[in-house]
Structure 1
Amino acid sequence: MAGKAPAFDPVANDPRSEASKKRDLISRGDYTPTPAGKAVFFLARAADPFLQYGILAHGLGTGFLHRLGVRTLPPGLPAHTGISGIDSLGLSPYRLVLLGMAVGSAVKQNIWVTALSGEPMDIRSAVAIGIFNTVFNSINTYAFLVRATSASTESAFPQSTLIVGSVLYVTGILTELIAEIQRKRFKSDPKNKGKPYTGGLWSFARHINYGAYTIWRAGYAIAGGGWILGALEGAFFFADFATRGVPILNEYCEKRYGEDWVQFKKQTKYRLIPGIY
């Protein structure tokens, strides 16, 4: 019938192989609304800071560690910032920073799911991704609490691990957020339909958001569990993106954008982190 909008064709919008689709966590080219799944994701991420606070402030779960003979750090002197809402938490300055990282990651990811991501998210994926992020945040928190792995040396505040970890965390999470806002604005303009975004922060690395996620994850781990944990988590995410995330997204972009993507790869040689990879 004349004037009728064409039906959505998920195959045409995501021309990748079935193997690549199964390895991806996102349905590329599909913009079907999924309010239930996104609401579950939002709530799962919003709940994480409360869990991390329970661990940091009340030692949630440390009783089990103690029964295993694992020693944990004492609470430390609470911070006095002059801000009643913060001081009422009763956390030491170091623990406040770690809690702030949990809050920051939840806020950033909930901005993404509500305002920046148009792709669908089913309830199963929402739960899985929420648990995934909470597990890594909890690893960092417990690594801080356990004496044998803690980044805190109980010396003068702030320690080098906290400084370096915080710089990496802030740099990574702001880079990821700004890059995704820039891409969203580009994609929201009808004139850019069918074109890849190659400007802004994306001109430094083709998958700058993945690289930025790797950086803030490494920084968070350094602040919690020190240099070794930071290196391990950074390597884990870097390897996952380099061997899974980037290749399957590259296949999608090659088939979706054609010559425009080929030119983008020529002008932007780095994949994840500018100057490194």
Structure 2
Amino acid sequence: MASSKPKPDPLSIQRGDYARTLAGPLLLGLGRMVSIPLQHWLLTAHPLSHFGIPRPPSDGVLELPLVGAQPQLSTIFLGMTATLILKQNAWIWGYCAERITVPFAFFGVVVPAMYECLSALVFSYASSNPLWRKEFLYVGAAVHFFAAAVELGSELARARFKGRIENRGRLYKGGAWGLVRHPNYAANVVYGAAYGFAAGGPVYALFTGAFYWSNLTGNATPAKENYLAERYPEEWEQYKKDVPWKMFLGIF
């Protein structure tokens, strides 16, 4: 008796299912934007002041169109979150062809919002954090923006390759994908750790980096590799020999 394939997990991307609906993408794309006003409120209302903690340092102001002068460090911090949200919306509406379920979208809104609000509280504690320096925010933000650009560039290169008719049913092995099998996930870990470093210094960076690492190595990477092995059996086996590292050269 033939064994039936397990039903797809509704909390995951529906690999190989290209019957897109609007509800999931709309919920995820619009819902992710909630983090910006939530973080802004946490930084401006500063609820930690009730515990005697001073406001986060500003290090000058930035003059922005429409909103005028804004604290420089807080604005850069919010800019990191905005970068992730814009990048995710580029994925949703630009190059994700597979179905996004409503449960996946709901999970993808709530969990990041909780994580980003926690990070805003950690940053609002910066003035009292002995392990934080304003230089950490500048360095962390620079690494964060660079890693996000690497991920976006890698994804767009793959999307261009897959968009050509002659490449249908073939693996993309160019660019960063010729160095490691999941450069997009590697970039996630880097910008996750950089986000934590900017918000709270090295200790919080370990937490945020581990958060991304555990999710990607324990959940996303195995699921993606199983899917690719099933979809491109012979090509995938050769690709694993040619590109032995999953995310970081010489490490993993």
TM-score, normalising length from structure 1? 0.81
> Tell me, what secondary structure is at the counterpart of 2:66?
helix
1:229: how far off?
A: 0.9
Give yes or no for contact 2:11–2:103 (8 Å, CA) kept in 1: no
Shift of 1:236: 2.4
Superposed, 1:33-52 pairs within 5 Å as 33-52=20-39
CA distance in 1, matches of 2:102, 2:207: 30
Structure 1 residue 164 displacement after superposition: 2.8
Note the C-alpha offset of 1:57. 2.1
What does the per-residue CA deviation read over 1:24-78, in whole Å, with 9 as the maximum and x for residues that have no partner? 611101111111111111111122212111112232xx1xx555xx443325457
Q: Indicate the residue corresponding to 1:145 in structure 2.
A: 124
Q: Which among 92, 96, 115 is matched to residue 113 of structure 1? A: 92
The corresponding residue for 2:53 is 72
Query: Structure 1 regions of 5+ residues with no counterpart?
Result: 1-15, 154-158
Give distance in 2, aligned partners of 1:116 and 1:149. 40
1:18 and 2:12 correspond: no
TM-score normalised over the length of structure 2 = 0.89
Q: For residues 213 and 86 of structure 1, do their structure 2 counterparts lie closer, same or farther at Cα, with a shift above 3 Å needed? A: farther
Alpha-carbon separation, structure 1, partners of 2:157 and 2:18: 19
Contiguous gaps of at least 5 residues in structure 2: none
1:190 aligns with 2:165: yes
Contact 2:180-2:247 at 8 Å conserved across structures: yes
Counterpart for residue 28 of structure 1:
15
Distance, in Å, in 1 between the alignment partners of 2:181 and 2:244 is: 8
After TM superposition, the structure 1 = structure 2 runs for residues 61-140 of structure 1, keeping only pairs within 5 Å, are 62=47, 65=48, 70-74=51-55, 76-77=57-58, 79-85=60-66, 87-88=68-69, 90=70, 92-140=71-119
Identity %: 26
Deviation at 1:114, TM superposition (A): 0.6
Aligned amino acid, residue 73 of structure 1:
P
Residues matched between the structures, number: 249
Contact 1:150 1:224 in 2 (8 A): no
CA distance in 2, matches of 1:239, 1:23: 20
2:136 corresponds to: 161
